[in-house]
Amino acid sequence: MERFLLILALVAFFLLCLWGCWLGWRRKSREQSVRVPPFPEAPAEPGEVLLESQGLYVSTIFAGHWQDRVVTRGAGLRTSAIWRLHPGGIAVERSGGPDFWIPRESVTGIRRDRAIAGKVMGTDALLVLTWRLGDAELDTGFRGDDLDDYPQWIEQLSDHDIKGGAQ
């Protein structure tokens, strides 16, 4: 009987912890929904695909704060993804999460990095795109299946159209 009560207490404690995490995630999402406008949707006709990479959408964070994950509107969900570069921007197509569009004129930088909320690597295996959405400056992290694509992304998005160039 004592063992049963101990197991029951442990299960109750575990469920209480899960409930607390869920409440915290919801609170953070509500707070961020005021600070971060809705992510843009891809245009119906985005134009030709200039570059495409498959991999893992890791997270979107507030720029400069590598652990401050944006969780509102499904942005906090880590999913497999395809990034497609079009003349007007980047289409981020996610399985299991909402797709979004990063307008090219919003991009302020692109770099390789080692860490972003949800992923820490031993090498610079993450591609991090810095962009503006309303008043918020965001970093969106991507872990590509083929790291050899990264120089092409950096070259394409570090041209003279971007203020600030690559970081």
- C-alpha to C-alpha distance for 129 and 127, rounded to whole angstroms: 7
pLDDT, tens digit only, all 167 positions of the chain: 899 999 999 999 999 999 999 998 888 888 888 888 989 998 989 889 999 999 999 999 999 888 888 988 888 889 999 999 999 999 999 998 899 999 999 999 999 999 898 888 888 899 999 999 988 899 999 999 999 999 999 999 886 444 444 33
- C-alpha to C-alpha distance for 81 and 79, rounded to whole angstroms: 6
- Whole-number pLDDT of residue 31: 84
- Whole-number pLDDT of residue 61: 92
Whole-model pTM: value is 0.79
Fold assignment, 51-157: PH-domain like (2.30.29)
Contacts of 93 (CB under 8 A, 6+ apart): 81, 82, 83, 84, 99
- C-alpha to C-alpha distance for 108 and 165, rounded to whole angstroms: 7
- Whole-number pLDDT of residue 159: 63
The torsion defined by the Cα of 130, 132, 138 and 139, in degrees rounded to 10, comes to: -20
**Which sequence spans correspond to the domains of the chain?**
1-35, 51-157
